[in-house]
Amino acid sequence: MSAPSIWSAEARLLLRSGRNLVALILLLALSSAAVWAGIAEVEHQHATIKRVEAEQVRDLAAVAEANAGPEGDAGYNAYYAFMLTQGPPPPLAFAAIGQRDLQPYVLRVRALGLQAQLYDSEVYNPELALPGVFDWAFVLIYLLPLVVIALGHDLVTGERETGRLRLLLSLPGSGLWRRRVGLRYGAVLAALGLPLVVGGIVMVAPVSGIAIMLLTAALYCGFWFGLAMLIGASLRTSATAAATMIGCWIVLTLIVPTLANATIARTVPVAKGIDLTLAQREMVHHGWDIPKEETFERFFVNHPEWRGKEEFEGRFHWKWYYAMHQVGDEAVAADVAAYRASLARREELTKTLGFVLPGVGTMNVLHRLADTDIEGQLAYQDSVAAFHKSLREFYYPYLFEDRMFTQADFRRIPRYEARHSTGTLALGSLGALGLLGLLALWLGSLRIARSGIGSRSKGRGPGMAAFGKLAEITH
């Protein structure tokens, strides 16, 4: 037979099995459904932002109407004008929604203390968030291994059980397993990747991003096929092989990640968030009970340009009020840094775990690329903080120079500009995943190449055989 016809014969063989066909169609359907759900979620978030923006325009118009004018006081305007910040879904979010179902993507801030505003939650339904999102990343990380198990666990054992193995191995020519594994690998990757590519086209996502996601999927898929060859060639029966692989899947995607999460939560507490909120409140309210000069002195440390303009008559002036809020923010800077450090530490530990756990590594690469992880949320918070600074600084001249705040001034209030996606390629994580994937494939192909010998010597797979043996004996 010529080379192409061997391949097409193998392909027919692959698809003639009801189980294989069902598994592949199921994967295609699930991947499509997940991409569709991801696109729906992204569209929903865009629509929400649009809706909020429209409301915001009306609200600001009302505030301007009531507070800005020839007699307008910047203090009132700054107090009532909440400015909208928005974090629209990045282009790749549809494939890996990550934390975007929980983290706010619209947040209003005003020139008051930022630390009392930055951590506010938006409305989401906690019970719907509880099981985790259904997106392409989920299908890849959780469900693809099961499809690989369905297609790949009985490569060798299936032939042995039907008595064809010796015949197959005695046939001239080489590359039997390479063809069979390659064919399955390609089919699985196509069923999984095709909907992603279509989704990428629909969402006009960057080609390089989609390509890296496919590469990540290919490596992860490689890991599981490698494992399938390794286990399938080492065990005697198909049931044993399947059960052993399911055992691997449980340990790698259900048990170790949850154990690790419990450990990380325990070793890296994040209580500083509450600490800084409480400390900031004390600072701001304490300001009412101390001489105003004290507050101004602290304020001038970082804003020396307004020194000499702090005098005012009477008991209250907005410039003192906003200075007091700023001093409250500055007083908790160390707590803020510690809080951020604890969040970053949790991310870092998760990243390290991803170096050895392919599922977690895949999760890290996809969500860092899509910018939908904690890092993306922190980048959004940073951009809000930068905007808040520009907002304060916009108002200071009006406040400290007692300038009127007219409608024209209101129109000049800085607007937040949505940041660009800061999704990055987590090269280290991808490299580690590549290493794991290729290592598994290499070991698997070594093992399967010796499968003829294995069938005579009743080779046993290392480790993870608990479920496998169980199935073998009860069988």
Partner 1 sequence: MSAASLIAREEWRVLARNRAGLIASALLVLLILVANFTSLERRSAIEADRERYQASVDESFDAQPDRHPHRMVHYGQFVFRPLAPLAFFDAGVDSFTGNTVFLEGHRQNSANFAEARQSSLLLRFGQLTPAFVLQTLAPLLLIFLAFASVGREKERATLKLMLAQGVSGRSVIAGKLIGHAAIALAVGLPAFAVLLVFAAAGAAEWGSVALMILGYAAWLLLWAVLGVVVSALAGRPRDALAILIGLWMVIVILLPRALPEAASAQSELATKIETEIALHRDLLKIGDSHDPDDPYFNDFKEEVLAKYGVDTVEELPVQYAGLVSIEGERLTTQIYADAANRQIASESEQNAFVHAFSVVSPLIAIRQLSMALAGSDLSAHYDFLDQAETFRYDFVQRLNRMQAELLPGIEGDDPRISAAYWQDIPRFAYDPTDPFARSQNLVWPFAVLLGWLGALAALALIAARRIERAAR
Q: Give the one residue of 13, 61, 201, 250 binding partner 1; rule: CB under 8 A.
A: 250
CA distance linking residue 199 with residue 136, whole number of Å: 10
Asked if 467 touches partner 1 (CB under 8 A), the answer is yes
- Residues within window 403-422 making contact with partner 1, judged by CB under 8 A: none
- With CB under 8 A as the contact rule, the residue among 31, 67, 115, 350 that binds partner 1 is 350
Cβ contacts of 423 within 8 Å, gap of 6 or more: 90, 92, 209, 368, 369, 370, 371, 376
d(CA 100, CA 137): 13
Q: Which of 11, 143, 425, 443 touches partner 1 by CB under 8 A?
A: 143
The CB-of-132 to partner 1 minimum distance in angstroms stands at 4
Beta strand pairing status for 106-109 and 83-86? antiparallel
Q: What minimum distance in Å lies between the beta carbon of 471 and partner 1?
A: 7
Among residues 41, 73, 329, 335, the one that binds partner 1 under rule CB under 8 A: 41
Identify residues 7-26 at the interface with partner 1 (CB under 8 A).
19
Taking the complex as a whole, the smallest distance from the CB of residue 130 to partner 1 amounts, in Å, to 6
Site string for partner 1, 271-290 (x = CB under 8 A): x-xx--xx--xx--x--xx-
Q: Which of 138, 296, 387, 396 binds partner 1 (CB under 8 A)?
A: 138
Residues 361-390, mask of contacts with partner 1 (x by CB under 8 A): --xx--x-----xx--x-------------
| Choices 55-63, 177-185, 196-204, 441-449 (CB under 8 A): range interacting with partner 1 | 55-63
Give the shortest CB-279-to-partner 1 separation in angstroms.
10
Q: Considering CB under 8 A, how many residues would be counted as binding partner 1? A: 99
Residue whose CB is less far from partner 1, 219 or 357: 357
Kindly tell me which residue out of 347, 397, 402, 428 binds partner 1, with binding defined by CB under 8 A.
347
Task: Find the shortest distance in angstroms from Cβ 260 to partner 1.
Answer: 6
Residue 475 near partner 1 by CB under 8 A: yes
Distance of closest approach, residue 305 Cβ to partner 1, in angstroms: 30
- Which of 12, 16, 315, 458 touches partner 1 by CB under 8 A? 315
- Closest contact distance (angstroms) between CB of 2 and partner 1 is 35
- Among 1, 2, 4, 58, the residue binding partner 1 under the rule CB under 8 A is 58
- Quick one: which of 353, 365, 379, 426 contacts partner 1 (CB under 8 A)? 353
Taking the complex as a whole, how short is the minimal distance between the CB of residue 367 and partner 1, in angstroms?
6
Residues 70-129 contacting partner 1, CB under 8 A:
82, 84, 98-99, 102-103, 106, 108, 119-129
Which residues in 194-223 contact partner 1 (CB under 8 A)? none
* 177 in Cβ contact with 449 (< 8 Å): yes
Q: Which stretch binds partner 1 (CB under 8 A): 169-177, 225-233, 343-351, 394-402?
A: 343-351
Q: Which of 74, 92, 35, 66 is nearest to 422 (CA)?
A: 92
Q: How many other C-beta atoms are found inside a 10 Å radius of the C-beta of residue 180?
A: 21
